[in-house]
């Protein structure tokens, strides 16, 4: 029996090698290694074969073969996910990294069509070369790829102005589990021709098919970005500042991020060449970015808004970035909180959202809850106040067994945090997705009717359940 299985896999690998050529497959453990563990080092999996198609036709050929052999498939982009969705658990691993062509930039249509393996920083550069902006921006942008960003409906630090990946996609091309190719690469802003199928694949985490290319929206490049780092006494003050900034800038706030004292301290400790832009004993900082169409008057808008905030005691102090280096330092601090937190040790992570009007209440009540349930634990609540998405992470008390904390002892606290989120009409996964990590919880938190509809979609597109099994559903 075991030998039969081994023979079948060997035959499958031989046929895949013939179909895609030697460059298109690998069984080399050294090459496979980074593909079978997540970047935080929390999950490690396995795969019988790494498949590296270089074109949609090759993805189709690979998927057809997997279907013939009844083998499950794990599609992978930059493998920078947070919820154990992209690490294979014995499935055939299809990496999109060789599919990195720019198919078209249609400047007059403000759109570009990129293959799934294009890295986000590259996508931003392509837009920039055409005097346009591709606004998705997040910590993992140096590794995250278009296909993965679509499959996880990535968020990041520009969502309050430009939306999530779902809002940035005009069309997609995907290969279905049976190998058929769906070309939905339409560059249309208006297209009311029945169900909008692309939305099924956006945020599906590879459970319905493999996204191979996408037509993405481009935006005017702002003439100037004004960046400031303000200190505030509480999350409530941060939310008040957000309202003021939106009003005073005519909706030009592109990022609005909250940084807690402990998060900043961890960055200063673990990330080389970082320094505090505005030392203070206050517990919170806010990073604000305005994107403006004209250099003239831009600084005045920022200064006027911050002056009003100081006068009405919404903020305690503020530093406006005077140079690109100062802006880069503020962003380096913000983008490295998760990295510094990882260097600090393991943490219970919650990627939650509530209506912006309830962010402050959530942070206050969540923090009190964590301290009450686990004295000595620290809360690091940071992130995207501007769109109501807080990363609410809890580190174990000093000396506690970290593995035991994240896998066992801390779990009642996680449930309590998510219960609080449910009571505030929030989401238990704002931007990181479900993966394997939150799959079981999703099933009981969502209504039966919602789960039934999701399962029906899955059955319709992937009747054999071979696409990224065990993730999401
Ligand atoms: C972030 O906003 O920094 C990321 O989503 C990472 C995290 O939640 O840890
Ligand atoms: Zn985030």
Q: Does residue 378 contact residue 395 with C-beta atoms inside 8 Å?
A: yes
Ligand 2 centroid – CA 32 distance (Å): 28
* Residue 448 located in a structural domain: no
108-141 pLDDT, tens digit each: 999 999 999 999 999 999 999 999 999 999 999 9
Ligand 1 atom, smallest distance to 351 CA: 8
Dihedrals phi, psi of 424, to nearest 5 degrees: -100, 15
Residues 121 and 80 in one domain: no
As a whole number, mean pLDDT of residues 357-366 equals 98
Q: What is the CATH number of the domain that holds 182?
A: 3.30.465.10
> Residue 85 is part of which domain span?
2-95
Would you state the structure tokens that stand for residue 84, as one six-digit string? 């154990």
Would you state the structure tokens that stand for residue 128, as one six-digit string? 């920039």
Q: Does residue 316 contact residue 282 with C-beta atoms inside 8 Å?
A: yes
As a whole number, mean pLDDT of residues 301-308 equals 98
Residues 117 and 198 in one domain: yes
367-383 pLDDT, tens digit each: 999 999 999 999 999 99
* Residue 458 located in a structural domain: no
The predicted model scores a pTM of 0.95
* Residue 465 located in a structural domain: no
317/322 Cα distance (integer angstroms): 16
Residues 216 and 108 in one domain: yes
* Residue 113 located in a structural domain: yes
Per-residue pLDDT band for 176 (boundaries 50, 70, 90) equals very high
Would you state the structure tokens that stand for residue 58, as one six-digit string? 């090759």
Ligand 1 centroid – CA 335 distance (Å): 8
Residues 261 and 192 in one domain: no
Residues 243 and 271 in one domain: yes
Residues 261 and 328 in one domain: yes
Per-residue pLDDT band for 2 (boundaries 50, 70, 90) equals low
146-174 pLDDT, tens digit each: 999 999 999 999 999 999 999 999 999 99
Residue 189 CB neighbours (<10 A): 10
| Residue-averaged pLDDT of the chain | 97
* Residue 470 located in a structural domain: no
Q: Does residue 51 contact residue 62 with C-beta atoms inside 8 Å?
A: yes
Q: Is the pLDDT of residue 1 over 60?
A: no
Mutate to test the pocket of ligand 1, among 82, 148, 335, 381 (most ligand atoms within 8 A of CB): 82
**Which residue has its alpha carbon closest to ligand 1 atom 9?**
338
Rg of the chain's alpha carbons, rounded to an integer? 23
275-284 pLDDT, tens digit each: 999 999 999 9
Residues 7 and 27 in one domain: yes
Ligand 2 centroid – CA 140 distance (Å): 10
Ligand 1 centroid – CA 90 distance (Å): 28
* Residue 373 located in a structural domain: yes
Q: What is the CATH number of the domain that holds 382?
A: 3.30.70.2740
Residues 88 and 132 in one domain: no
Of 228, 245, 243, 221, nearest to 295 (Cα)?
221
Q: Is the pLDDT of residue 145 over 90?
A: yes
With a pLDDT cut of 90, the percent of the chain lying above it is 97
129/121 Cα distance (integer angstroms): 12
* Residue 65 located in a structural domain: yes
Ligand 1 centroid – CA 391 distance (Å): 6
21-56 pLDDT, tens digit each: 999 999 999 999 999 999 888 899 999 999 999 999
104/112 Cα distance (integer angstroms): 6
Mutate to test the pocket of ligand 1, among 338, 348, 352 (most ligand atoms within 8 A of CB): 338
Q: Is 241 exposed, middle or buried (CB count within 10 Å of its CB: 0-12, 13-18, 19+)?
A: buried
In the block, which residue shows the tokens 């203070």? 280
Q: What is the CATH number of the domain that holds 314?
A: 3.30.70.2190
3-state secondary structure string, the chain? Answer: CHHHHHHHHHHHHHHHHHHHCHHHEECCHHHHHHHCECCCCCCECECCCEECCCCHHHHHHHHHHHHHHCCCEEEECCCCCCCCCCCCECCEEEECCCCCCEEEEEHHHCEEEEECCCEHHHHHHHHHHCCEECCCECCCCCCCEHHHHHHCCCCECCHHHHCCHHHHEEEEEEECCCCCEEEECCCCCCCCCCCCCHHHHCCCCCCCCEEEEEEEECEECCCEEEEEEEEECCHHHHHHHHHHHHHHCCCCEEEEEEEEHHHHHHHHHHCCCCCCCCCCCCCEEEEEEEEECCCCCHHHHHHHHHHHHHHCCCCCEEEECCCHHHHHHHHHHHHCHHHHHHHHCCCECCEEECCHHHHHHHHHHHHHHHHHHCCCCEEEEEEEHHHCEEEEEEECCCCCCHHHHHHHHCHHHHHHHHHHHHHCCCECECCCCCCCCCHHHHHHHCCHHHHHHHHHHHHHHCCCCCECCCCCC
24/41 Cα distance (integer angstroms): 27
As a whole number, mean pLDDT of residues 460-465 equals 98
Domain endpoint, select from 338, 371, 405: 338
Domain endpoint, select from 220, 245, 263: 220
Ligand 1 atom, smallest distance to 157 CA: 2
Residue 440 CB neighbours (<10 A): 10
Residues 229 and 292 in one domain: yes
Ligand 1 atom, smallest distance to 335 CA: 3
Domain endpoint, select from 188, 220, 252: 220
∠ CA 174-455-46, nearest 5°, is 65
Residues 247 and 303 in one domain: yes
Q: What is the CATH number of the domain that holds 71?
A: 3.30.43.10
Ligand 1 atom, smallest distance to 383 CA: 2
Count of structural domains within the chain: 4
237-269 pLDDT, tens digit each: 999 999 999 999 999 999 999 999 999 999 999
Ligand 2 centroid – CA 103 distance (Å): 29
pLDDT of residue 40: 81
Paired sense of beta strands 378-384 and 389-395, if any: antiparallel
**Which residue has its alpha carbon closest to ligand 1 atom 8?**
391
* Residue 174 located in a structural domain: yes
Q: Does residue 354 contact residue 429 with C-beta atoms inside 8 Å?
A: no
Q: Is 213 exposed, middle or buried (CB count within 10 Å of its CB: 0-12, 13-18, 19+)?
A: buried
Residues 331 and 236 in one domain: yes
As a whole number, mean pLDDT of residues 305-310 equals 98
Residues 71 and 125 in one domain: no
Ligand 1 binding site (Cβ under 6 Å of any ligand atom): 139, 337-338, 351, 383, 391
């Amino acid at each position: 029996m075991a030998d039969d299985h081994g023979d079948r896999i060997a035959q499958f690998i031989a046929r895949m090698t013939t179909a895609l050529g030697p460059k298109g497959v690998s069984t080399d453990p050294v090459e496979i290694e980074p593909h079978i563990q997540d970047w935080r080092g929390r999950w490690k999996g396995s795969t019988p074969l790494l498949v590296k198609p270089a074109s949609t036709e090759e993805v189709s050929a690979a998927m057809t073969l997997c279907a013939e052999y009844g083998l499950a498939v794990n599609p992978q982009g930059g493998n920078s996910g947070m919820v154990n969705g992209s690490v294979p658990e014995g499935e055939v691993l299809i990496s999109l990294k060789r599919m990195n062509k720019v198919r078209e930039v249609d400047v007059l249509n403000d759109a570009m069509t990129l293959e799934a393996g294009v890295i986000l920083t590259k996508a931003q550069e392509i837009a920039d070369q055409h005097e346009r902006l591709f606004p998705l921006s997040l910590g993992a942008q140096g590794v995250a790829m278009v296909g993965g960003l679509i499959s996880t409906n990535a968020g990041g630090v520009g969502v309050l102005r430009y939306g999530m990946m779902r809002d940035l996609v005009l069309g997609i091309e995907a290969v279905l589990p049976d190998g058929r190719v769906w070309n939905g690469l339409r560059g249309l802003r208006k297209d009311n021709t029945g169900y909008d199928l692309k939305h099924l694949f956006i945020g599906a985490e590879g459970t319905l098919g493999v996204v191979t290319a996408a037509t993405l929206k481009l935006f005017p490049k702002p003439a100037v970005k004004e960046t400031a780092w303000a200190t505030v006494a509480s999350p409530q003050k941060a939310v008040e500042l957000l309202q003021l900034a939106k009003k005073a800038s005519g909706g030009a706030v592109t990022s609005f991020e909250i940084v807690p004292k402990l998060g900043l301290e961890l960055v200063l400790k673990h990330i080389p060449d970082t320094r505090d832009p505005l030392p203070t004993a206050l517990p919170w900082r806010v990073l604000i970015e305005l994107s403006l169409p004209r250099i003239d008057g831009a600084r005045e808008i920022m200064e006027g808004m911050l002056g009003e905030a100081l006068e009405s005691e919404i903020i305690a102090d503020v530093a406006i970035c005077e140079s690109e280096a100062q802006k880069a330092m503020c962003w380096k601090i913000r983008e490295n909180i998760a990295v510094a937190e990882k260097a600090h040790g393991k943490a219970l992570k919650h990627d939650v959202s509530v209506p912006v009007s309830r962010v402050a209440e959530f942070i206050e009540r969540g923090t009190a809850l964590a301290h009450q349930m686990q004295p000595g634990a620290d809360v690091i609540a940071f992130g995207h106040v501007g769109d109501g998405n807080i990363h609410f992470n809890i580190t174990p008390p000093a000396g506690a067994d970290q593995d035991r904390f994240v896998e066992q002892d801390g779990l009642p606290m996680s449930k309590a945090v998510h219960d609080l989120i449910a009571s505030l009409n929030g989401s238990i996964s704002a931007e990181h997705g479900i993966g394997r990590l939150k799959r079981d919880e999703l099933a009981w938190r969502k209504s039966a009717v919602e789960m039934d509809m999701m399962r029906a979609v899955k059955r319709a597109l992937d009747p054999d359940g071979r696409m990224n099994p065990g993730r999401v559903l």
